[in-house]
Structure 1
Amino acid sequence: MPDESELHEGTWLQWPHHYQYGVPYRNRLDATWVAMTQALAGSENVHIIAYNEKEEKRIIDLLNKNNIDLTHVDFYRFKTDDVWVRDNGPIYARDMHGNLVIQDWGFNGWGQKSDEESNQPIGFTNCNAIPKKIAQAQGIPLIDLNKTLINEGGSVEIDGHGTLMACKSSIINDNRNPGMSQAQIEAIFTEYLGASHFIWLDGQAGLDLTDQHIDGFARFGNASTIVTMNKHDLLEFDVTAKDIKTLYGAKNKQEKPYNFVTVPLTKNTVKKSSGSDLGYKGSYVNYYIANTVVLVPNYQDPNDTIANDIIQSLYPNRSVVGIDVRDLYENGGMIHCVTQQQPA
């Protein structure tokens, strides 16, 4: 699996719709998707998954109203359950001959969770079918791993040089992969993602919907750098002291310690655009690297500028674009969670 910072053909987005959580949910998220599309369309192709023809027309109207050039934007009409394409979407990898393939890992709604408000099971079957539909539409070979491993894209961080970083709680968990050992799962990741060196944090099952995905608080900035938070902020972000020690002691495949770049949490707890306070702070680590831009979660917080500047220093040949994620963050994710790269 290529590193995210390698050249992209494009970025995939699953546009919010009203068929699962209603019109208010859709409407409060539209602006974030418009902003992402605007930032990405000048960088690479933007592949938008619309629920149906009616939604596609609605999205095009939104983009036109915001004067977004649609030259590099295209649409695919596939039913989805939600917006988290990082977790359910295609994983592009290269085979031994360097040809792109699409890997279709199993997705079961983060361990068949229930919605906190309705207490009903979270729908996931539409989203689980997305990689196969994209492979068919693009004519790219599909590797069907649905029966091999349940694995969300946000669960794994790849440095592009043989190292994989993850929390055990979101993979080695009986709600995803019952009875499977760490050794079995590592062998699968070695075969299909090219990982031969592993940094495992314990994570915390049940902490959140995802059982603590790694990409909320620790990312590979490059082959020698991990982007995370300082130890105090990690504790506030509910990372355990044991996992913090493991993270800061991590070494790469050559047994060299990583350099660490720390980005603060928001200064204040996050308030939605409506003014209601979510009661917890926001992470900037969940950013997305595109060809010419880096999309960074922003919260209309004093630390937005500080975080943007730190991340900008990591990617001098790209322009940081802050994307307002206040209304998305209520649902647990930020920018990286709702984007998926297609390598060139």
Structure 2
Amino acid sequence: MKNKMLSLIISLLTIFSSCQKADESLQPADATVMYTMPEESAPHEGTWLQWPHQYQYGATYRNRLDATWVKMTQTLAESERVHIIAYDEQEQSRIINLLNNAGISLTNIDFKIYPTDDVWVRDNGPIYVKDNKGQLVVEDWGFNGWGKKADYQNCDLIPSKIASSQNRTKIDLNAVMVNEGGAVEIDGAGVLMATKSAVLNNNRNPGMSQSQAEAIFTKYLGVTKFIWLKGKAGLEITDMHIDGFARFGNTKTLVTMDFDDLLDWQVPEEDINTLYAATDKNGAPYTLVKLPLTKNNVETVYGKKLGYKGSYVNYYIANKRVLVPNYNDPNDVVANRIIQRLYPDRVVVGIDVRNLYANGGMIHCVTQQQPR
């Protein structure tokens, strides 16, 4: 009897061990990674911009934004190429005149003529990743105007057009997932941070589970650890994109705000606690850098009082510059100084975004990097 019992125990242990090994082989691991997205501060070949035009919201909308695009172009062209998407040839000529009048050399600037619905290239533009041979390819994720809240048909075609123009391999993910670039943050070392409200939302990906989304992100962005925040659906057009209030400054640093400012930004308290407790792929806490909100509610250049404060977290890291949203506010200098300390080898340049901010976004929202 004892021998039979011992034999049974050994058999059960053998089965358990085999099952455990099989389970381990099914877990998300680095072996499932097919593409890896370089972190934003990695060297760029250039930056993509979609220039404002009159064909969607009128000439006044366009004219109020031109100065911000001129300043971004001037700053970016000092250390990398600037790829400008113009709506048509007439718009290209107009943009060239604006740049010439500002004394900006066109040496590092080129143009593509593609119709667009709006300026938010971070969300609709190409996502550049490297395949397992180190080759740069374009991922074309689905874009549906943040849950069909705005026109999107022209912008949705931009990644495909760019891939074709560069004769670059395109990974078509339109039927796989709707995913805006501003909805996800990666630390460049295997971690992705996002709000569920902007990804696992039925207006983007109906019925998609968290585990399904994670498997897709692992395969196509090269991440294997996830920091999920709840977010707040319906608060604004993006359903609370992460890049307005939390970013990875580098592989070891998480840039966000203090508790009260996050509450003012309407980030759920549970999400704030999750942010402050976040750890990297190896379980080490991130260094937290906290930027203020503006001291005052933002007022546009043309005098419109917006009734809410501005975030400095939505900055953009270029090769030798960091473009920081500024609001003609006392806290501009405070935020610029903090960000300068974070990037001592780059020069911080404040970009006036007051008119752009009236339309819901800042610098990171309207830029998209092309890695070197």
**TM-score when normalising by structure 2:** 0.90
Measured in 2, the distance between the counterparts of 1:200 and 1:245 equals: 12
Measured in 1, the distance between the counterparts of 2:200 and 2:310 equals: 27
Aligned residues with identical type, % of pairs: 67
TM superposition outliers: structure 1 runs of 4+ over 6 Å: none
Partner of 2:125: 89
Matched, 1:134 2:162: yes
The unaligned stretches of length 5 or more in structure 2 are 1-36
> Aligned residues, how many?
336
Partner of 1:189: 217
Deviation at 1:317, TM superposition (A): 0.4
Partner of 1:295: 323
Partner of 1:2: 38
Measured in 2, the distance between the counterparts of 1:75 and 1:31 equals: 18
Deviation at 1:224, TM superposition (A): 1.0
1:63-122 deviations in whole A, cap 9, x for unaligned?
000000110000000000000000000000000000000000000000011xxxxxxxx2
Matched, 1:337 2:370: no
Measured in 2, the distance between the counterparts of 1:142 and 1:53 equals: 26
1:120-146 deviations in whole A, cap 9, x for unaligned?
xx2100000000000000111000000
Partner of 1:74: 110
Partner of 1:124: 152
**Secondary structure at the residue paired with 1:295?**
strand
1:20-78 deviations in whole A, cap 9, x for unaligned?
00010000000000000000011100000000000000000000000001100000000
Measured in 2, the distance between the counterparts of 1:257 and 1:294 equals: 25
Measured on the aligned residues, the alpha-carbon RMSD in Å equals: 0.4
Measured in 1, the distance between the counterparts of 2:113 and 2:65 equals: 19
Deviation at 1:230, TM superposition (A): 0.3
Measured in 2, the distance between the counterparts of 1:267 and 1:77 equals: 40
> What does residue range 289-328 of structure 1 map to in structure 2 within 5 Å?
289-328=317-356
Partner of 1:116: none
Aligned partner letter, 1:15: W
**Secondary structure at the residue paired with 1:322?**
strand
Aligned partner letter, 1:222: N
Deviation at 1:155, TM superposition (A): 0.3
Aligned partner letter, 1:14: Q
Deviation at 1:166, TM superposition (A): 0.3
Measured in 2, the distance between the counterparts of 1:241 and 1:191 equals: 31
**TM-score when normalising by structure 1:** 0.97
Matched, 1:57 2:93: yes
Aligned partner letter, 1:85: V
**Secondary structure at the residue paired with 2:92?**
helix
Measured in 2, the distance between the counterparts of 1:83 and 1:275 equals: 22
Measured in 2, the distance between the counterparts of 1:240 and 1:331 equals: 23
Measured in 1, the distance between the counterparts of 2:140 and 2:151 equals: 18
Measured in 2, the distance between the counterparts of 1:185 and 1:266 equals: 34
Aligned partner letter, 1:327: N
Aligned partner letter, 1:28: R
Larger radius of gyration: 2
Aligned residue among 223, 233, 248 for 1:205: 233
Deviation at 1:276, TM superposition (A): 1.9
Q: Which has the higher helix share?
A: 2
**Secondary structure at the residue paired with 2:360?**
coil
Partner of 2:74: 38
Partner of 1:144: 172
The unaligned stretches of length 5 or more in structure 1 are 114-121
**Secondary structure at the residue paired with 2:233?**
coil
1:174-229 deviations in whole A, cap 9, x for unaligned?
00000110000000000000010000000011011000000000000111110000
Matched, 1:277 2:305: yes
Partner of 1:108: 144
Measured in 2, the distance between the counterparts of 1:173 and 1:17 equals: 30
